[in-house]
Amino acid sequence: MVTNMEKPYVVGMDIGGTNTVFGVVDQRGNVLATDSIKTQLYPTIEEYVDAVCDKLLPLIDSQGGVGKIKGMGVGAPNGNYYKGTIEMAANLPWKGIIPLAALFEERLGVPVALTNDANAAAIGEMTYGAARGMKDFIMITLGTGVGSGIVVNGQLLYGHDGFAGELGHVIVRRENGRQCGCGRKGCLETYCSATGVARTAREFLVARSEPSLLREIPAEEIVSKDVYDAAVKGDKLAQEIFEFTGTILGEALADFIAFSSPEAIVLFGGLAKSGDYIMNPIQKAMDETVMKIYKGKTKLLVSELKDADAAVLGASALGWEAKDL
């Protein structure tokens, strides 16, 4: 990490399908000031950039102004590290290819580096969290979608085009798979994201007749947190939804292990905080289906970073390396 005493801070920003969080970070990884906006409120990218800058510039000013900022790092779905663009992101309101890094460079006058949101979280975890000191691990982010950041030999895997590691779009159900925002059917994301859990809840409630606390909530309004709250209260149906979700994810993780033989798989995001309800079925399915040569070698961990901080921290680490304008 290149340090520069005249420019002691960077900006980190995480663009999620629901919220965009940004903050000013120092060289030790302290998040000094943060704020957020709702990603979906802005139909055009110009309105979105304006909304971010309206809240970000006062944060920067509170830390001494733009002159103190070395660079900005952004984590975004379908973020292309090589080009600084967001391309065909299924869970964002703006379609096509968005030159996001250039738009922010123009507005803020600081260099901007961009990568996919799960890669940013992986960098945060490797620098400040559960993967400190690890050279081989896979980060799985369970949010609106399912993202992944794959680290091999201490390096993030980008592939030749900048898009390597879309493990959320590995097909896990070939027969009657759920429709995915990417245009295909049966992707892991449609089952194991927070959105996928809510989808499973609605399917289970229609297909089955047993009583459940979830029946008190209008079906279209159910979110994954409702399923967790019901599970904690002993709701059998809610617990089975986690069982179903965890089994699919565990089987997929067993396949991912065969690809890069990671020391650990780190789960990040709200769903990963559902404790044993989700972790036990994941671990069980992973152990039962992983190839013998890998058995017992890969740890299943939960991120040690606070949700908002992890993504901002990971993205901010890119800010130190952003090429000067």
Based on the fold, state whether residues 83 and 139 are members of the same structural domain: no
Based on the fold, state whether residues 58 and 172 are members of the same structural domain: no
| Domain that includes residue 168, residue range | 133-304
Average pLDDT over residues 27-48: 94
Q: How confident is the model at residue 3 (pLDDT cuts 50, 70, 90)?
A: low
Based on the fold, state whether residues 259 and 228 are members of the same structural domain: yes
Predicted pLDDT at 129: 87
Strand-pairing partners, residue 267, are 140, 302
Residue 288 neighbours by CB under 8 Å, 6+ apart? 250
Based on the fold, state whether residues 116 and 208 are members of the same structural domain: no
Q: How confident is the model at residue 157 (pLDDT cuts 50, 70, 90)?
A: very high
Sheet of 9-15, strand order: 31-38, 19-26, 9-15, 69-76, 112-116
On the question of pLDDT at 124 being above 80, the answer is yes
- Mean pLDDT computed over every residue of the chain: 94
Residue 174 lies inside a defined structural domain of this protein: yes
Q: How confident is the model at residue 197 (pLDDT cuts 50, 70, 90)?
A: very high
Residue 128 lies inside a defined structural domain of this protein: no
Percentage with pLDDT > 90 across the chain: 82
pTM of the model as a whole: 0.87
Residue with the larger pLDDT of the pair 170 and 270: 170
Number of folded domains in the chain?
2
On the question of pLDDT at 321 being above 90, the answer is no
Residue 316 lies inside a defined structural domain of this protein: yes
Q: Give the distance from CA 240 to its chain's centroid.
A: 25
Based on the fold, state whether residues 119 and 218 are members of the same structural domain: no
Q: How many residues does the chain have?
A: 325
